[in-house]
Structure 1
């Protein structure tokens, strides 16, 4: 990531800074992974509380902390209402400072494979970041974006969900230039009750698209008509198996990175 001041971080997270306004070079939510000039964010979830590891982070040499309460410390810290929300706001700020093209991928299945294939093409000629280890939730997406450096041109972000509202939240953080819904199938029904529920949730990827963005849609998807309002006035690429559409996802990658040798791959795929 690029260097940021604690004053800037406190401002963007609506937090209160205690101590000196220093510059940090790294952010970590893992007290065991502390580099020089690292800001440790004490996340709190249903089954964990990062505040329990503040002392370990201090012992490892972190230079600042984001917390939800006052602490006894010789280093600077920022108090926020919710450290998880703060993490997302910092990641979104970094995304907008560096301004890479973000390709966000969601779907019921296959999104990881599509992400890995796209990443393998892009990283041949560009500096990129992409989701690793299935870090595709409200914590993993911000952590991925925090890896952005000034030289990165593209980011491939996988968006996963188990409950309504998750895709919308991480879409707001990532603000895609390109959004792909790979497919809609019967998966994770427990959180959404029906296929329509899944379709509505996946379509939230369109909620925070950047200007002049592109949408990639599987024409075989269920409840496609429900997405019309959200993708109105967007440039749309379609692909399909059942409807015999030979519009390949790789064509979009070609459009953005101009790699001529990808054409041979496409010809093989559409034969």
Structure 2
């Protein structure tokens, strides 16, 4: 990740820093993955509270903490209102500080496979990060974005959800340059209630879309008419198994790589 001082992290998260300022090069949310000198963010979920592991983190030489509680360890710490939100705020800041082109993928099924294939193609042309396995929620997406460094050229981010609002959150953090909705099917109906609910949830991905970006839509999903108002001022491409004159998604990716390569060659000639 990009190095950050604790003062800067406190500013990004609207938190309060207690103790000395330090430079942080690694952020961890799992005590099993702690390395000396890292920042540990103590997340709180429905069934867990990572604050109980702070003493374990200290034993492993964690340098500092982000917490929701005034625990007063013997190392610097930042108190924030919500540690999960703080994680997203830091990841969003890191994303904005890099020049990497971000491609965000969502859909009811197949998105992990498409993500892996896309990332494999892009790695042939430059440093690329991608979502690890299917860690595509409000925790997994920020942790993926935190991997970004200045040398990264691409990021392939999978956005998943089990209820409304989740993709809007991760899309705004990711600020994608290209968006793909792989398909719409009846999935997670307990959270979305209906196929229309699924469609609306997936369309939340447009909320983080950068200006003059590209949207790629599966026409076989039959939901484009509902999304038109959300994707104005974007380059819209389609693909379909059933319809003629389709644009295949991976052709778009190859074109994306070609243009990047062409710009690099032009830059070399100008030098």
Q: What's the TM-score once normalised by structure 2's chain length?
A: 0.93
Equivalent position of 2:129 in the other structure:
129
Task: Confirm or deny: 8 A CA contact 1:95 1:174 kept in the other structure.
Answer: yes
Task: Confirm or deny: 8 A CA contact 1:13 1:90 kept in the other structure.
Answer: yes
Task: Confirm or deny: 8 A CA contact 2:212 2:233 kept in the other structure.
Answer: no
Task: Confirm or deny: 8 A CA contact 1:41 1:67 kept in the other structure.
Answer: yes
Equivalent position of 2:100 in the other structure:
100
Task: Confirm or deny: 8 A CA contact 2:36 2:60 kept in the other structure.
Answer: no
Q: How far 1:132 sits from its partner (Å)?
A: 1.2
CA distance in 2, matches of 1:112, 1:135: 10
Equivalent position of 1:214 in the other structure:
214
Q: How far 1:99 sits from its partner (Å)?
A: 2.7
Aligned pairs for 1:137-148 (under 5 A) are 137-148=137-148
**1:141 match: secondary structure:** helix
Aligned residues: 260
Per-residue CA deviations over 1:207-251 (Å, capped at 9, x if unaligned) read 111122100001111332110101112101100112134311112
The structure in which a higher percent of residues are helix is: 2
CA distance in 1, matches of 2:219, 2:77: 50
Task: Confirm or deny: 8 A CA contact 2:172 2:207 kept in the other structure.
Answer: yes
Q: What's the TM-score once normalised by structure 1's chain length?
A: 0.93
Q: How far 1:125 sits from its partner (Å)?
A: 2.3
State the 4+ residue runs in structure 1 displaced beyond 4 angstroms: none
Aligned pairs for 1:79-228 (under 5 A) are 79-228=79-228
Cα RMSD, aligned residues only: 1.3
Residue ranges of structure 2 left out of the alignment (5+ in a row): 260-271
CA distance in 2, matches of 1:217, 1:157: 16
Aligned pairs for 1:19-98 (under 5 A) are 19-98=19-98
Task: Confirm or deny: 8 A CA contact 1:199 1:222 kept in the other structure.
Answer: no
Task: Confirm or deny: 8 A CA contact 1:32 1:60 kept in the other structure.
Answer: no
**2:40 match: secondary structure:** strand
